[in-house]
């Protein structure tokens, strides 16, 4: 075993971004190559240790928790290949979305769609079903064209639509249950411009015109501020240009001062004085003004997120979105809850990935948040009951209470995924308590 892959006793705990998950693994390793990672997995399995790969910790669940061997991503990074003719780029699994986006932009290329943060590793983002919003373009995993996977015995599989096709189908959103992804190949296209239009809109108008707003825009999303009738809408559409980026000062005011600095302060105030939350919400909903700008995709899709929180998100049949949101609003007022964080609503087209939250159906996402340190269980539990009544599927990386029995009922291809898992990891080398709950034994 090389010095790079030698498993050392863990000297400290690993915590996720939100701070609600802490693990103390028996050992950690930070491989720099697929070969080193495969060697580490094989040795750990031979020693009877469970193995989990961790990203940057932006999941709120214990999906990556282990008391066995924890594989760290920081050395397995970088672009492996760019194929302009095929329209693909291959990157190592520990590469962050920020590095991927910036590298692609420097080469005049772009992903078609992406989520709203760039801190995640590419493997973590696809494995948990990270998504943005889109009328025609789906989650990050839906843009995959191939992947490299280390299985429980240390074997390395190359997977795509023509090679190890059943593994590729499942592993695009694999929850870390099938093996450790070491590289991913994404479809890319020539870089384009997006015109972003952000503006306030009343709750009643957004909900009554939701289907129209989705149909008319390539990327539509909105945030509703509980205790108010106010929403902030975002419409992103391709533009012929010219580029007109948000001004440096105005961007700082909107993205740093209002969305991070000031918002963090008011969240802290709301946590300390819950009775002040409705008034704070009314002020917060009026703080963000309308703006329009045109820039390259990753600068439009993504924004900094420095205020730490806990989150639960459910994927619903798109036709159920507005009814569920109205029920959520009524529940908050009926129960007298004090909710200082806006509710986020996004969409995605149906895809063909077995455990994708958009698998087989056009989807709307409703995400609820609570500032870190604020009691969240009453809100999340009540919100979850609303989502379940509409056949909701929980985001794999966000808080939820569902188990394998429920999930098998809302994922028609659940058994297909389970069969691939049984074949690749019959002894559950990559298992943990979370996977035992959501996938079964």
> Do the strands 27-29 and 144-150 form a parallel or antiparallel pair, or are they unpaired?
unpaired
Identify which of 176, 143, 129, 144 has the alpha carbon closest to the alpha carbon of residue 411. Answer: 129
Using one digit for the tens of pLDDT, what is the confidence trace for 284-295? 777 667 899 999
Q: Once rounded to an integer, what is the mean pLDDT over residues 254-276? A: 73
Q: Burial code of 75-87, b = ≥16 C-beta within 10 A, e = fewer?
A: bbbeeeebeeeee
Q: What is the pLDDT of residues 314-344, one digit of tens each?
A: 999 999 999 999 999 999 999 999 998 899 9
Preceding amide of 242 cis, omega within 30: yes
pLDDT digits (tens, 9 = 90+) for 295-321: 999 999 998 777 889 999 999 999 999
Region 259-266 average pLDDT: 69
pLDDT above 80: residue 263: no
Q: pLDDT (tens digit, 9 = 90+) per residue, 228-245?
A: 999 999 999 999 999 999
pTM (global) more than 0.85: yes
Q: How far apart are CA 80 and CA 92, in angstroms?
A: 7
Check residue 322 and give its pLDDT.
Answer: 98
Residue 179 has pLDDT above 80, yes or no: yes
Whether 10 shows a pLDDT value over 70: the answer reads no
- Residue 117: how many CB atoms within 10 A of its CB? 19
What integer best gives the mean pLDDT of the chain? 93
Under a CB-based contact definition with an 8 Å cutoff, are residues 105 and 298 in contact? yes
Q: How many other β-carbons are positioned within 10 Å of the β-carbon of residue 273?
A: 12
> Which residues neighbour 38 within 8 Å (Cβ) at sequence distance 6 or greater?
150, 154, 155, 156
118 has a pLDDT exceeding 70: yes
Neighbours of 382 (CB within 10 A): 17
Structure tokens at 344: 């986020």
State CA 156 to chain mean position distance.
Answer: 26
Query: Taking every pair of C-alpha atoms in the chain, what is the biggest distance, in angstroms?
Result: 63
Q: Which distant-in-sequence residues (6+ apart) come within 8 Å of 331 by Cβ?
A: 337, 382, 383, 386
Q: What is the pLDDT of residue 272?
A: 87
Burial of 185 (0-12, 13-18, 19+ CB in 10 A): buried
Nearest-angstrom CA–CA distance, 288 and 256: 12
Q: How far apart are CA 103 and CA 119, in angstroms?
A: 14
- Percent of the chain past pLDDT 90, that is, above it, reads 85
pLDDT tens digits for range 85-105: 999 999 999 999 999 999 999
Q: Is the predicted pLDDT of residue 5 greater than 80, yes or no?
A: no
Mean pLDDT within 162-177: 98
Distance CA 305, CA 259 (A): 8
Confidence of residue 441 (pLDDT cuts 50, 70, 90): confident
Is the pLDDT assigned to residue 262 strictly greater than 70? no
């Amino acid at each position: 075993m090389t010095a790079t892959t030698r498993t050392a006793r863990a000297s400290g705990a690993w915590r996720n971004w939100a701070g609600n998950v802490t693990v103390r693994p028996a050992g950690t390793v930070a491989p720099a190559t697929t070969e080193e990672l495969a060697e580490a997995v094989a040795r750990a399995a031979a020693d009877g240790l469970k193995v989990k790969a961790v990203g940057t910790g932006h999941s709120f669940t214990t999906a990556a928790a282990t008391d066995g061997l924890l594989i760290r991503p920081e050395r397995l990074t970088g672009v492996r290949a760019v194929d302009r003719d095929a329209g693909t780029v291959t990157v190592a699994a520990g590469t962050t979305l920020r590095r991927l986006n910036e590298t692609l932009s420097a080469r005049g290329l772009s992903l078609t769609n992406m989520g709203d943060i760039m801190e995640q590793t590419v493997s973590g983002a696809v494995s948990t079903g990270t998504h943005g919003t889109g009328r025609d373009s789906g989650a990050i995993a839906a843009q995959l064209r191939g992947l490299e996977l280390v299985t429980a015995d240390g074997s390395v599989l190359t997977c795509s639509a023509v090679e190890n096709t059943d593994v590729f189908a499942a592993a695009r959103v694999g929850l870390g249950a099938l093996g450790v992804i070491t590289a991913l190949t994404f479809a890319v296209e020539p870089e384009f411009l997006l015109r972003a239009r952000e503006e306030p809109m009343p709750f009643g108008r957004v909900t009554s015109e939701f289907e129209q707003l989705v149909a008319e825009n390539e990327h539509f999303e909105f945030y509703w501020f509980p205790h108010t009738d106010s929403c902030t809408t975002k419409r992103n559409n391709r533009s012929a240009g010219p580029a007109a980026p948000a001004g440096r000062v105005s961007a700082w005011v909107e993205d740093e001062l209002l969305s991070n600095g000031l918002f963090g302060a008011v969240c802290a105030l709301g946590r300390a004085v819950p009775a002040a939350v409705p008034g704070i919400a009314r002020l917060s909903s009026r703080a963000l003004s309308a703006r329009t700008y045109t820039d390259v995709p990753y600068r439009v899709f993504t924004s900094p997120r420095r205020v730490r929180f806990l989150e639960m998100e459910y994927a619903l049949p798109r036709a159920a979105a507005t009814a569920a949101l109205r029920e959520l609003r009524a529940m908050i007022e009926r129960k007298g809850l004090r909710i200082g964080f806006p509710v986020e609503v996004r969409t995605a087209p149906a895809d063909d990935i077995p455990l994708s939250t958009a698998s087989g159906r056009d989807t709307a996402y409703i995400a609820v948040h609570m500032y870190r340190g604020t009691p969240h269980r009453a809100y999340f539990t009540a919100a979850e009951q609303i989502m379940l009544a509409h056949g909701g599927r929980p985001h794999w990386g966000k808080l939820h209470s569902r188990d394998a029995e429920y999930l098998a009922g809302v994922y028609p291809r659940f058994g297909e995924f389970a069969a691939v898992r049984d074949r690749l990891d019959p002894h559950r080398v990559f298992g943990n308590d979370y996977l035992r709950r959501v996938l079964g034994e």
